[in-house]
Amino acid sequence: MLSRVADSLYWMSRYLERTEQGARVLGARFDAILEESPTAAARGWARLTAALGVDPPAEEDEPQTAFARRLTFDRLDPGAILGQIRMARENARQVREEIGADLWVHLNRLYLELVEPETEALWQAEPVTVYGRIVDGIRLVRGVADATMHHGEGWHFLGLGQYLERTLQTIGLIDSFFDWPQTGELGEGDLILLLRSAGAIEAYNRVYTAQYMPGVVAGYLLFDRGFPRSVRFSVERLNGEIAAIAGQEHGRTRGPAGRMAQRILAEIDFNAADSLDGTRLHPLLQEVRVALGEIHAAIIATHVAYTVEAAIAG
Amino acid sequence: MSESKRASEDGDPSKAGAESNVEPFPARSGPWAEGLFARYSFGRAVDEMFERPGVPLPHASALYARLAELSSDELARRQAQVEHAFLTQGITFTVYGEGQETERIFPTDLVPRLITAADWDRLERGLTQRIAALNLFLGDIYGEGKVLRDGIVPADLILGSKNYLRAMRGLKVPHGTYVSICGSDLVRCEDGNFAVLEDNLRVPSGVSYMLANRAVVKRAFPNIFRELNVRPIDHYGRALLATLRAMAPPRAERPRIALLTPGVFNSAYFEHAFLARQMGIELVEGRDLAVHDNVLYMRTTSGLARVDVIYRRIDDDFIDPLRFRRDSMLGVPGIVNAYRAGNVTIANALGTGVADDKAVYAFVPALIKYYLGEEAIIPNVETYLCRRPAERDYVLANLDKLVVKAVGESGGYGMLVGPHATKAQREEFHARVSAHPDSYIAQPTLALSTAPCFVEDGIEPRHVDLRPFILTGRETVIVPGGLTRVALRRGSLVVNSSQGGGSKDTWVLGT
């Protein structure tokens, strides 16, 4: 397929994943806010900006709701929910022939619903409902992609973007809560909020029952092979997508991206054997993050941004 | 009913209505008197639905009866459905300004325009004849130049045209087909007959609206659609693909075909993506393509892949920065050399614009006679060439009655509609035509036929034209239908989408 198309699919998928996680984190934040002390709330918003990788409020006294509205409805800010859906939509618009009419229509509808003034009015009253709808809307788009697209190279580029972004998001989320040296302070409420933000609370309870210990929760989000948003699970899928994309070429090995993904898996499995503490957690997360950056660079260099001369010679 | 029969039955159709285009017909009774059609008015123009006030043409009586049953609320609901379908499908264009981007749908009207089987039969034969002559003409002027030596068309008009491309001289194109995709603009004149207003031989657009209109309008009127035995058009994509395949260089056994778009900011981008999807071909931009050793490649995730046919939706000027505009970022450096080497076919061929020039247009009936030995089945609109002194003087003396058009402009720009122009505008055109007579033509102000359109809470007549799409590879295929463009403002004659026009579905009736 066209390199540009692969690139657009990959980014469309990354933006969708980023939006889904952003909406989930914001929804969990607003859900928690009713029962929080002001100090806890301030710490919560600080964690949120760290997890989503967005700038904290420019002015210290910007009200939290104004800040949250910006993070949700600013359609020109690539850090905001609407800005990201807009980017996903712009990428989708340029590859409509690849994704098919159904997928486009659902993504377009999600965008059009969000820009309606009624949505912002609803958000004023019921922010959690709006974030829930956004998450649902993206799940619908994903479901339509799965059910209607040809599961070929383009579809694998969607998977590549999805799982690479998902890994980054889960890492960011864990890191924002386990910001050593405060790890010891994480209470049950924090851990529940972390699991909610990861969409993991019910899945976790099924495995460990409703008992929350920092090491266990972090371990679940990092190492669990069955939870679909864990780092282990996401990198395993990412590895599969890399292999699928490479497998469609003649006479090429998995190359640097595949080797990098397998190295992350080995690293994770090696660390999973021991119990976690804050001193090891952050460096491990950082290592995975760097490796993901290298996977991204390797994929782009091999499939998208190569030179004509190199391709003719090769 | 044939066009000529219709004209003779009605006698002089201009007498059928009042003199003005907007004056309501006085005597009304029954469903015609009140309700949806209460504001329907008649003028000089013939109407696509009514023989005379309150009396539908025989082929339109079923549709009229159905419309008369509906309330305006019901029509408004269906109109809203149609518009919603366009919006969710992204059949929109973006208006930029002051940091805001607004997406608008292309205005569409839900009342279909009907064309009889007999009318269509004549149009099909006439358009096939016309494109055959135009392709022969292009082959001639880029080859031997016989038509110029024989004095049928003035040589300076062709060789001096900015649209005549020397890069095309002596180049053989498959099947002698220069124009694979043509979108001719037809109008129905006061005598009830169709005439060709313009040949669009470069990159005609609008076919996606023909298809999108059909997809939504047939659902808005499902029963009447079935009842009228409307001929299908949804095979257009397959017909286009077959045409492009036929244009592949002989070397390519399984040709790879790509649609070249200027990109997402182009107003026709929706159409480019739509057609690529319908055909299952790649939608490429200039940056996706590269030429190496006169071979055209596209950049894929697994390396370079050879491309055999380019369906280009990008103008000549922008297609190759090495040949034409050096500042163009949209084109592909070296693509013209690959084309000249016979390694890739570009459709439409480059340099076809020389033949849809507004001055060359006047010669098309003569070209049909010259190349085919036939009379033109569909006439031209009477055209005055200001390059001829006598005609120029006539034009200058009658600026208040004529439509003056700049040669080499398209999209409704550079145009004077005499009867609607101010004195200052007419004076400006007087000066321009006097100074550069070669650059202008003039035509009588046409009373384009009107068709019923749903406007606010009633049905009113609006002026329409018709753009069918003519496909030619080895042979010519015309999907029975076309884009009916509508001048949405009351009394306006300008149907171009860039100038506030809309469109409606066109139903060619089966026999």
pLDDT digits (tens, 9 = 90+) for B478-487: 999 999 999 8
Cβ contacts (< 8 Å) between A109 and chain B: which residues? 88
> Are A144 and A168 contained in the same domain?
no
For helices A231-247 and A255-272, what crossing angle results, to 10°?
Answer: 160
> Are A117 and A177 contained in the same domain?
no
Distance between A104 CA and the closest CA of chain B, angstroms: 7
CA atoms of B245 and B238, how far apart (whole Å): 10
> Are B14 and B94 contained in the same domain?
yes
Last residue of a domain, which of B421, B444, B467? B444
Domain assignment of residue B256, yes or no = no
H/E stretch holding B50: strand B50-52
Question: Which are the contacts of B500, defined by CB distance < 8 A and separation ≥ 6?
Answer: B487, B488, B489, B492, B494
Residue B286 clears pLDDT 70, i.e. is over it: yes
Last residue of a domain, which of A149, A177, A208? A149
Contact at CB, A96 and B273, closer than 8 angstroms: yes
> Are B123 and B155 contained in the same domain?
yes
pLDDT digits (tens, 9 = 90+) for B306-327: 999 999 999 998 999 888 877 7
Last residue of a domain, which of A130, A149, A168? A149
> Are A184 and A114 contained in the same domain?
no
H/E stretch holding B163: none
Residue B498 pLDDT = 56
For helices B269-279 and B207-220, what crossing angle results, to 10°?
Answer: 80
Please give the ipTM for the structure prediction.
0.81
Q: Closest Cα to residue B447, out of B403, B391, B385?
A: B403
> Are A130 and A35 contained in the same domain?
yes
Cβ contacts (< 8 Å) between B274 and chain A: which residues? 96
Residue A33 pLDDT = 87
Domain that holds residue B193: 1-161+185-232+356-381+446-511
Looking at the structure of chain A, the number of domains it has is 2
CA atoms of A79 and B128, how far apart (whole Å): 55
Burial A223-258 (b: 16+ CB within 10 A, else e): bbeebebbbbbbbbbbbbbbebbbeebeeeebbbbb
Domain assignment of residue B296, yes or no = no
Going by pLDDT thresholds of 50, 70 and 90, the confidence category of residue B2 is very low
> Are B396 and B506 contained in the same domain?
no
More confident residue, A73 or B457: A73
Residue B86 pLDDT = 87
Comparing B74-78, B122-126, B196-200, B322-326, the range with the smallest average pLDDT is: B322-326
> Are A172 and A145 contained in the same domain?
no
Q: Which amino acid is at B324?
A: F
Contact at CB, A312 and B304, closer than 8 angstroms: yes
Distances (CA, A) of B507 to B80, B115, B435: 21, 6, 45
Going by pLDDT thresholds of 50, 70 and 90, the confidence category of residue B408 is low
CA atoms of B454 and B452, how far apart (whole Å): 7
Last residue of a domain, which of A102, A128, A149? A149
> Are B156 and B200 contained in the same domain?
yes
Residue B239 pLDDT = 97
Contact at CB, B301 and A97, closer than 8 angstroms: no
Going by pLDDT thresholds of 50, 70 and 90, the confidence category of residue B98 is low
pLDDT digits (tens, 9 = 90+) for A94-114: 898 889 889 999 999 999 999
> Are B506 and B392 contained in the same domain?
no
Residue B6 pLDDT = 36
Looking at the structure of chain B, the number of domains it has is 2
Residue A181 pLDDT = 58
Cβ contacts (< 8 Å) between A113 and chain B: which residues? none
Note whether B154 and B498 are within 8 A (CB): no
Residue B447 pLDDT = 87
Domain assignment of residue B344, yes or no = no
- Mark out chain B residues that contact chain A at CB-CB < 8 A: 87-90, 263-264, 269, 273-274, 276-277, 281-285, 287-288, 290, 292, 297-304
> Are B426 and B369 contained in the same domain?
no
CA atoms of B283 and B295, how far apart (whole Å): 19
CA atoms of B224 and B230, how far apart (whole Å): 9
Contact at CB, B277 and A97, closer than 8 angstroms: yes
What value does the mean pLDDT take over residues B93-114? 77
Residue B29 clears pLDDT 70, i.e. is over it: no
Residue B307 phi, psi (nearest 5): -115, 135
> Are A100 and A186 contained in the same domain?
no
Residue B146 clears pLDDT 70, i.e. is over it: yes
The whole-number mean pLDDT for each consecutive block of 10 residues of chain A, a chain of 314 residues, reads 95 97 96 86 90 82 85 92 96 89 94 94 95 97 96 95 98 88 74 96 94 91 96 95 77 74 91 73 92 95 87 78
What value does the mean pLDDT take over residues B241-257? 94
Note whether B182 and B472 are within 8 A (CB): yes
Residue B26 clears pLDDT 70, i.e. is over it: no
Domain assignment of residue B360, yes or no = yes
Distances (CA, A) of B443 to B8, B95, B108, B366, B415: 25, 33, 28, 18, 11
> Are A4 and A112 contained in the same domain?
yes
> Are B19 and B53 contained in the same domain?
yes
Whether the CA torsion B377, B382, B386, B388 is positive or negative: it is: positive
CA atoms of A207 and A190, how far apart (whole Å): 19
Residue B32 clears pLDDT 70, i.e. is over it: no
Please give the structure tokens belonging to residue B395. 């034009």
> Are B457 and B399 contained in the same domain?
no
> Are A78 and A203 contained in the same domain?
no
Contact at CB, B277 and A101, closer than 8 angstroms: yes
CA atoms of A189 and A187, how far apart (whole Å): 5
User: Highest-confidence range of A256-270, B73-87, B164-178, by mean pLDDT?
Assistant: B164-178
> Are A3 and A121 contained in the same domain?
yes
> Are B436 and B469 contained in the same domain?
no
Cβ contacts (< 8 Å) between B87 and chain A: which residues? 112
> Are A183 and A280 contained in the same domain?
yes
Distances (CA, A) of B132 to B33, B149, B202, B268, B492: 48, 21, 16, 27, 33
Q: What is the CATH number of the domain that holds B394?
A: 3.30.1490.270
Residue B179 phi, psi (nearest 5): -110, 100
Domain assignment of residue B204, yes or no = yes
Residue A296 pLDDT = 96
Question: Which are the contacts of A219, defined by CB distance < 8 A and separation ≥ 6?
Answer: A272, A275, A276
Cβ contacts (< 8 Å) between B303 and chain A: which residues? 249, 306, 311, 314
CA atoms of B284 and B346, how far apart (whole Å): 14
Note whether B335 and B141 are within 8 A (CB): no
> Are A20 and A63 contained in the same domain?
yes
- Mark out chain A residues that contact chain B at CB-CB < 8 A: 1-6, 90, 93-94, 96-97, 100-101, 104-105, 108-109, 112, 153, 157, 245, 248-250, 303-304, 306, 308, 311-312, 314
> Are A186 and A241 contained in the same domain?
yes
Going by pLDDT thresholds of 50, 70 and 90, the confidence category of residue B492 is confident
Going by pLDDT thresholds of 50, 70 and 90, the confidence category of residue B413 is low
Domain assignment of residue B408, yes or no = yes
Domain that holds residue A50: 1-149
Distance between A239 CA and the closest CA of chain B, angstroms: 18
Contact at CB, B301 and A2, closer than 8 angstroms: yes
Q: What is the mean pLDDT of chain B?
A: 88
